[in-house]
């Protein structure tokens, strides 16, 4: 009988062969190729690691990386490296610019280098990397801070919270792991609204969450021009982005489909719309609470991106029931851009997001059956579900049931 080491080595060899065979597809930037190889790379690490190494990575390597990255953000270390334009920055310079203890800064830089956040050029000399450069940009930098200070404690509290509740599946948005961790009785979004610093970090992070991932408006995903490009006349808006944050989805749609004509409307709460500032040409801003009736009537499409997964079924139905009266039956479409959990072989970006939703709102990512049931209950008929690559968000299209 082959040993477990021999078995793991053979699996690793097979994975390496598959990765090698995928090189051309990655170089040519074929849709889905990068995601496929990335999934294989994670599987390769899991195959080659010993149990002890797995525990070490989960237990302190990644948590220490997260903590060191947050500290570097607080001290603006990544900005200091970026200002050097790829030239080495000495430990002495970092100590002077940050005011931190030399030994502490040295230990921080060592771990950031060992985990590929920055580059170690020589003895006590460091330089930026694409990752550290990205962490000087608000949508990535604030993602770390929001996740470290808000989401992280909520995730860490799940085992203790579930033990307290007798391992019941969380379902109360005002009494879940988030409330347990942050010692509050407020639901996540109410708590967030009372803390402008975290709210700004959250909104910035949402604007960059999907960057580099396949989008519903990419060629070969959802047939945008065919499904929503043809309109009855030029008067009604083309698309209303309901709860659309800072408008990154509308900008992407306009950039990737300049042939589409029609008004694009961004809706969100007043504090979010204020953060948008001056909108890009062709995008209208409307302050709107999606728990109230939709004011824009007869648009070709009403778009919800990562909105419904924040809420339980009852509140989702309230959101949908406020949109449906504004839709023109047989013409308007509801576009729901969300994760659809497959019955078998769900990828970690989806399963981990499901746990994050459990932690923050006592809610969940839904299966196809659950999505169809929810939309049908609201009086909508699903007319198609588009999924390009395992682990990416899907585009669910629905119309008013006639």
Query: pLDDT tens digit string along 228-266?
Result: 987 766 678 999 999 999 899 999 999 999 999 889 999
| pLDDT number for residue 1 | 44
- The confidence band for 9, taking pLDDT boundaries of 50, 70 and 90, is confident
Residue 65 lies in a domain: no
Residue 149 lies in a domain: yes
Residue 388 lies in a domain: yes
The CA distance from 47 to 231, in Å, is 52
> In terms of domains, do 202 and 229 share one?
no
Burial of 344 (0-12, 13-18, 19+ CB in 10 A): exposed
> In terms of domains, do 247 and 318 share one?
yes
> In terms of domains, do 193 and 320 share one?
no
* Active-site option among 338, 393, 397, 399: 338
Mean of pLDDT values over 339-361: 94
> In terms of domains, do 190 and 329 share one?
no
Average pLDDT of the chain, as a whole number:
94
Look at phi and psi of residue 32 and say left if phi exceeds 0, alpha if psi is from -120 to 50, else beta.
Answer: left
Helices assigned H by DSSP within 147-269: 152-156, 158-165, 177-182, 188-193, 196-208, 224-228, 248-256
> In terms of domains, do 260 and 326 share one?
yes
Residue 68 lies in a domain: no
> In terms of domains, do 395 and 252 share one?
yes
The answer to whether 365 is a known catalytic residue is yes
- The confidence band for 287, taking pLDDT boundaries of 50, 70 and 90, is very high
Structurally, the chain folds into a number of domains equal to 2
Query: Which CATH number goes with the domain that contains 396?
Result: 3.40.50.150
**Domain containing 157: what range?**
138-206
Strand-pair partners of 303: 241, 335
> In terms of domains, do 245 and 200 share one?
no
The CA distance from 122 to 310, in Å, is 46
* Active-site option among 35, 82, 200, 365: 365
Strand-pair partners of 341: 367
Residue 379 lies in a domain: yes
Whether 119 shows a pLDDT value over 90: the answer reads: yes
| Tens digit of each residue's pLDDT (9 = 90 or more) over 379-391 | 999 999 999 776 7
Whether 14 shows a pLDDT value over 80: the answer reads: yes
> In terms of domains, do 182 and 232 share one?
no
> In terms of domains, do 332 and 365 share one?
yes
- The confidence band for 210, taking pLDDT boundaries of 50, 70 and 90, is confident
> In terms of domains, do 161 and 302 share one?
no
Inter-residue contact 362 to 169 (CB < 8 Å)? no
* Active-site option among 309, 393, 397, 399: 309
Residue 120 lies in a domain: no
């Amino acid at each position: 009988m082959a040993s477990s080491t021999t078995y793991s080595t053979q699996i690793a060899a097979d994975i390496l062969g598959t990765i090698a065979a995928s090189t051309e597809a990655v170089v040519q930037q074929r849709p889905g190729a990068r995601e496929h190889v990335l999934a294989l790379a994670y599987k390769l690490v899991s195959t080659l690691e010993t149990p002890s190494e797995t525990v070490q990575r989960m237990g302190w390597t990644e948590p220490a990386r997260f903590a060191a990255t947050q500290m570097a953000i607080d001290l603006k270390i990544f900005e200091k490296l970026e200002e050097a334009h790829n030239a080495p920055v000495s430990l002495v310079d970092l100590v002077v610019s940050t005011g931190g203890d030399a030994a502490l800064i040295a230990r921080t830089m060592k771990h950031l280098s060992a985990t590929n956040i920055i580059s170690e050029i020589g003895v006590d000399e460091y330089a930026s990397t694409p990752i550290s450069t990205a962490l000087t940009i608000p949508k990535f930098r604030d993602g770390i801070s929001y996740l470290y200070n808000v989401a992280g404690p909520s995730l860490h509290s799940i085992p203790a919270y579930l033990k307290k509740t007798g391992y019941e599946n969380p379902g109360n948005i005002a009494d879940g792991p988030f409330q347990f961790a942050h010692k509050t009785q407020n639901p996540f979004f109410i708590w967030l609204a009372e803390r402008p610093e975290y709210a700004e970090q959250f909104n910035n992070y949402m604007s960059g969450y999907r960057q580099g991932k396949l989008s519903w408006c990419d060629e070969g995903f959802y047939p945008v021009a065919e499904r929503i490009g043809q309109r009855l006349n030029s008067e009604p808006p083309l698309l209303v982005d309901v709860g659309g944050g800072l408008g990154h989805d509308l900008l992407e749609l306009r950039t990737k489909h300049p042939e589409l004509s029609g008004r694009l409307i961004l809706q969100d709460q007043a504090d979010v719309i204020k953060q948008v500032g001056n909108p890009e040409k062709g995008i209208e801003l409307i302050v709107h609470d999606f728990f109230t009736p939709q004011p824009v009537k007869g648009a070709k499409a009403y778009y919800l991106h990562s909105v419904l997964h924040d809420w339980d079924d009852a509140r989702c139905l309230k959101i949908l029931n406020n949109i449906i009266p504004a839709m023109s039956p047989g013409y308007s479409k509801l576009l729901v851009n969300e994760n659809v959990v497959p019955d078998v072989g769900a990828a970690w970006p989806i399963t981990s997001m499901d746990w994050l939703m459990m932690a923050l709102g006592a809610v969940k990512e839904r299966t196809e059956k659950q999505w169809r049931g929810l939309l049908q209950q609201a009086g909508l008929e699903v007319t198609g579900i588009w999924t390009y690559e395992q682990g990416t968000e899907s585009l669910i299209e629905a119309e008013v049931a006639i």
